[in-house]
Amino acid sequence: MRWTEVADGVLARRHEYLDLTLGLVVGAERCLVVDTGGDETQGAEFAAAIRSVTALPWLVVLTHAHFDHYFGTKAFLPCAVWAHERCAEAMRADAETDRRKWAARFREEHKPELAARLTEAELVAPTATLTEEVRLDLGGRTVTLLHPGRGHTDHDVAVHVPDAGVVFAGDLVEQGAPPSVGPDAHPAEWPRALDALLALRPGTIVPGHGEPVDPAFVRAQRDRIR
C-alpha cells in the first residue's frame, strides 16, 4: 500500500489487493474519501492512512456497487456516504452473491483470511444520492460528483476536482489490465461515458485499479472498448 500525490491535496492510495486504487481529496474544512475498499480491515487501514494525512472530518463517495469498492465503508462511519441513486439498489441485489463468489475464489486461491474478512464485512448503504451531478464544498475547494453515463455499470460516479485538473474515474478506467466488462456493464455506451470525462479536460485521471493516467491513455482505452 502506498500513497501517490496526484496534485496538491489530491492523493491516490494503491493496494496490492486486486490492484485497487482508492482516493482522497482534502479541502480546508473536510475531506472526501473515494471508495472504501473490499472489507472492514482494508477500510480501517485506509482510514488510518488518511488520518496520517489529515484530521479533517470526511465524506465518502462510492464510485459503483462492486464489492471491492464499498465493503470497507463501516470503518468511516458516522459520515455521509454518497453514491448514484441506482447504487443502493445494485448493492442490495448483488452484494451477497458477490460476497459468496469472491469468498469462494479467495479460498480456492488459498487466501482464507481474505475470505473470512469478506464474509464478516457489514453492508453499509449510501445515505445521500445523486442522479446526474452534485457539488460538494470541502472548504476552499469544490468537487463535483457526476454520473457520466452508463459504462462499467449503470450507476458509475466519477469525482472531478477542477482546481487540480483531476478526475477519479472508478472502474470506467483501468490501468494494468483491460477494463472489466461484467454482466452489469454497458459496453456500447461506455465510450460516451469516457468522452464525458475527457470533456472535463483533466490533466490526470485516477482509475479504479492501477496507476494514474493521462487523457491519451483514456482515449486509447475508449477506442479499444468501442
In the chain, domain spans: 2-225
- Per CATH, the architecture of 2-225 is what? 4-Layer Sandwich (3.60)
The helix or strand, by DSSP H or E, that contains position 102, with its residue range, turns out to be helix 87-108
The rounded distance, in Å, linking the Cα atoms of 117 and 15 is 16
Looking at residue 211, its pLDDT comes to 96
Would you tell me how many other CB atoms lie within 10 Å of the CB of residue 117?
19
Looking at residue 18, its pLDDT comes to 87
- Per-residue confidence in pLDDT tens, the chain, 226 aa: 789 999 999 999 998 878 999 999 999 999 999 999 999 999 999 999 999 999 999 999 999 999 999 999 999 999 999 999 999 999 999 999 999 999 999 999 999 999 999 999 999 999 999 999 999 999 999 999 999 999 999 999 999 999 999 999 999 999 999 999 999 999 999 999 999 999 999 999 999 999 999 999 999 999 999 9
Looking at residue 92, its pLDDT comes to 93
By DSSP bridging, strand 81-84 and strand 128-130 are parallel
Q: Please say whether the beta carbons of 12 and 21 come within 8 A.
A: yes
Looking at residue 57, its pLDDT comes to 98
Looking at residue 80, its pLDDT comes to 98
Nearest CA to 154 among 129, 136, 175, 172? Answer: 172
- Kindly state the cell numbers that stand for 164: 487540480
DSSP 3-state assignment of 196? Answer: helix
The rounded distance, in Å, linking the Cα atoms of 87 and 213 is 26
